[in-house]
Amino acid sequence: HLLVGGGVGVARPAFRPIHLVSNAPMPESVRIVEVGPRDGLQNEPTLVPTDVKVGFIDRLSETGLSVIEATSFVSAKWVPQMGDNKEVMAGIKRKPGVRYAVLTPNLRGFEAAVESGVDEVAIFAAATDSFSQKNINCSVIDSFERFKPLMEAAAVHGIPVRGYVSCVLGCPYEGAVQPDAVGFVAQSLREMGCYEISLGDTIGVGNPAATVAMLQAVKRHVPVEEIAVHLHNTYAMALPNMVAALQEGIAVVDSSVAGLGGCPYAKGASGNVATEDVVYMLHGMGISTGVDLDRLIDAGQYICTALGRATQSKVAEASIAKRLDEESQARQKRSSASSSDDQFVNHRSVVVAAAGHDAPVAAQRSQPRR
């Protein structure tokens, strides 16, 4: 139902409107997969120090998040930012109840990840051949063959595998993507053994109607409880698309603190939807996440300070401004109270001094006459 016009990846309305309200009930709780340390940092032009990455992950571990994608076991030649993957995994403080996942494109990466004691790995395919060729230098079908040895090894080690599908709502090279094509890739990954399929709007061109159409196609092949969405915010559609996904029964979402991230193969594509914004929205809708928003904002502020940039989260931006205003008002009150105390002390000193000056006279007056 979705056609392309006005530029690559820009969707114009379908001929027949798609009703966005589903009969499926909204989830009572949502699991958030935090991808900031991997997807958020992998495209940073300047290498982020290992201790900063470790500090970032450790702060995220204290927020209530249950899954953190920590790094990627890819060749440092292709993704230099992830070249310290072993050091990162060795340096983090693992919190009970938190799963630390990593991206592994091949068997070699998987074996290195196992040595680092990861809890979970992820593989990634694409909904179009063009993007697959650019990203991993092979077709979609060939990528499935590449993943087979990894999936077999994961089964032997008992390590769960999550599957990503890129460009589910638009491709920078082919434009609009047919929902059935996404369904085929998602089904193939599930049949290979992926326990969950994360559907990524890699370049952020989707809209709620397109999101619903895509999810309905995927749900014909994959149970809804095994589907997640991974939304980028290029056209500020990530949150509306997420609400549409919730209405389709999706209860797992990927996001990145401070809206970090981007796509190296699509100019102008911005980062992931900000985790702070997601948590604020979900809590406002009465949907639980188990995440502490204040601690999440602190983690985002930490990494943004380290990167020397402003947060892309509107919620964090507003919350930090509110904090600063409250701190300023508190300082003014303390200053005012201190000034009042000083005035009181000064006034008392004057009174005491005056009383002391008059004391001899009063004493003389009180002496008995002879």
What residue spans of 65-139 are helical by DSSP H? 85-91, 107-115, 129-136
What is the per-residue DSSP string for 2-69? -EE-SSTT-EE--SSPPP---SSPPPSB-EEEE-IIIIITTT-SSPPPHHHHHHHHHHHHTTT-SEEE
Beta bridge partners of 171: 175
Q: Which two tokens stand for residue 230?
A: 């991974």
Contact, 243 vs 253, CB < 8 A?
A: no
Q: Is 167 a catalytic residue?
A: no
Beta bridge partners of 243: none
Catalytic residue, chosen from 167, 194, 263, 304, is 263
Q: Which two tokens stand for residue 129?
A: 């051949």
- Which H or E run contains 78? none
> How far is Cα 291 from Cα 293, in angstroms, rounded to an integer?
6
The residues annotated with a catalytic role in the active site are 263
